[in-house]
Chains A and B, each alone.
Chain A
């Protein structure tokens, strides 16, 4: 097996292994790996900053939505209030109108009744007078007494 037979090359192998391992280790440690790490960190920072920015924007959007909803409910409340007021007003107005109309009608009915009663009275008294006249005439014709002397 050359691995164990070629003992004369052991020092050479160890020497070059040491040389290349140290070169590799030194360059990687002081140049390559910091460069890669810096690159990765830069990207991570960028992503992180964007994530925090995004969080901020989300918070902002949420507060805007909250604000909007609060305003919306307020407006709704106001609208229903206005509607209620208008409803009440309209109801009251119509009630008033109905009441006024009813009163007017009652009044007219009363007036008409009064007039009818009055006319009835006059008609009855007129009829009375006429009856009296006819009776008087009849009596005077029958009794031959002057109309003026008959007093019923």
Chain B
């Protein structure tokens, strides 16, 4: 980072190829570039190890290669996550949760590469993902339960005189789901990357004693990698819980 540059400059979107379609500016930007890299990486990482044609019908075909083990790890992780939160009916929604988790996870992780761009640090991106989940879950609830889906806002076992108070609260908490879901991811990424940049500024400013913030940055980078994973996990597990709510109501 050059001296005097804002720590927020890393979040600036720079168009790479200007594209204008029907009056809309859909330029290919650095954000889109890192989405491309993330998508390509996920597809290669999970598809290529399993493209190997079967040689024989012997047992050795069943031994996974290293890459297959790595891919299986991600597969089984989301599989057990869905099984634990939703149960057997959750299998149908496995591709959605898997795609969301991997897209956010590798988006976050690639954002940790210096000079890269973290598309999950943009509220518009996380809000779009969260709104997508919200709309999907709501539609799913209505498809599964019809009008009965509104009973989701009525907590069972409550005295009737409490309902006028609690139903609005339930509705507000339901409607705020996409906001909390998107802001959580966005704010974590924003804060972590900004903090890293601010301390990186101290390294050059403090001269010899810059070694102290440098050490701090190294530790913070480790923490950020943890947060990158954690936030993707939180997003995925909340999606699972919302799906569970839509399927089973209370």
Contact = CB atoms under 8 A, between A and B. Distances in A.
Contact of A27 (B13, B47, B59): B47
A36 to B, nearest CB: 5
Contacts of B129: 17, 21
A21 B99 contact: yes
Chain A contact residues: over half helix, strand or loop, or mixed? helix
A45 B55 CA distance: 18
Interface string A22-35: 01110111011101
A2 B123 CA distance: 10
Contacts of A46: 59, 62
Interface string A45-86: 010000000000000000000000000000000000000000
Contact of A25 (B9, B12, B31, B99): B99
Interface residues of A, number: 35
Contact of A16 (B26, B43, B47, B95): B26
A39 B43 contact: no
A23 B73 CA distance: 22
Contacts of B12: 2, 6
A36 B72 contact: yes
B190 interface: yes
A24 B42 contact: yes
A33 B103 contact: no
A2 B11 contact: yes
Contacts of A27: 43, 47
Interface stretch (B33-41, B153-161, B195-203, B217-225): B33-41
B29 A13 contact: yes
Contact of B38 (A2, A20, A28): A20
Contact of B124 (A13, A29, A42): A13
A15 B24 contact: yes
A42 B62 contact: yes
A3 interface: yes
B71 interface: yes
Given A9-B25, A12-B32, A33-B75, 9 more contacts: A4-B123, A9-B13, A16-B35, A17-B129, A23-B39, A25-B99, A33-B95, A35-B47, A36-B75
